[in-house]
Amino acid sequence: MNIQQVKAMMELQALGNLGSIASSSSEGTNVFQTVLDRALQTTGTDTLGSVQNLLNTMPHHAPSPTLALSQENGASKSQETDIDSIISRAAERYGIPAKLIHSVVKQESGYDPSATSHAGAAGLMQLMPGTARGLGVTDVFDPEQNVFAGSKYLKQMLVKYDGDMKLALAAYNAGPGNVDKYSGVPPFQETQNYVRKIMDSYYA
């Protein structure tokens, strides 16, 4: 191995992120290895320039992992911003705290607009089909329709129970019939945990 070959290898290592931009070519060849093999044959003094030229001619059929992650994070942040905006507008329309809606959305769906339950509840605020229809929802998976309808229903429960947040949340989860039947939060483990978790989140 001559000094030019050693220099080529050292300069390849200095590229640092070469591995991250090396995606599979159509022939399944490892791009990094291909560039290395060709670089070792370089005899000119501008080895790094030769390597860069080789990189520019190699096929890249997929974005680098860093770029893909950046794009994914950008989409996620955009979605979070949209949901936050929807919640803020719903809170203003129905006169309830935005943080309460956030706490319900977090507990119900984890901010996943496509979430569904085994019982048939769907969307960000997990509306049951009958409730959604009664509130005029045409697409339960549409974030704006779902959040506005869920917020409206939550407001109705708050009004029904004179602003008692625990009872309103219990009614949201188990139905007002059960709250009335037990004259308070029903003795259902799921409902009791539900109310406790949302109250903890709201007051955190």
CA 45 – CA 28 distance, rounded (Å): 31
Secondary structure class of 122 (helix, strand, coil): strand
Residues 6+ apart with CB under 8 A from 7: 47
Of these residues, 72, 80, 108, 190, which one is catalytic?
Answer: 108
27 given a catalytic annotation: no
CA 23 – CA 9 distance, rounded (Å): 20
CA distances in angstroms from 71 to 5, 66, 84, listed in the order given: 38, 9, 20
Secondary structure class of 27 (helix, strand, coil): coil
Q: Residue 201: beta bridge partners?
A: none
Residue 130: half-sphere exposure toward Cβ, Cα within 13 Å: 2
Q: Would you please indicate which residues are annotated as catalytic (active-site) residues? A: 108
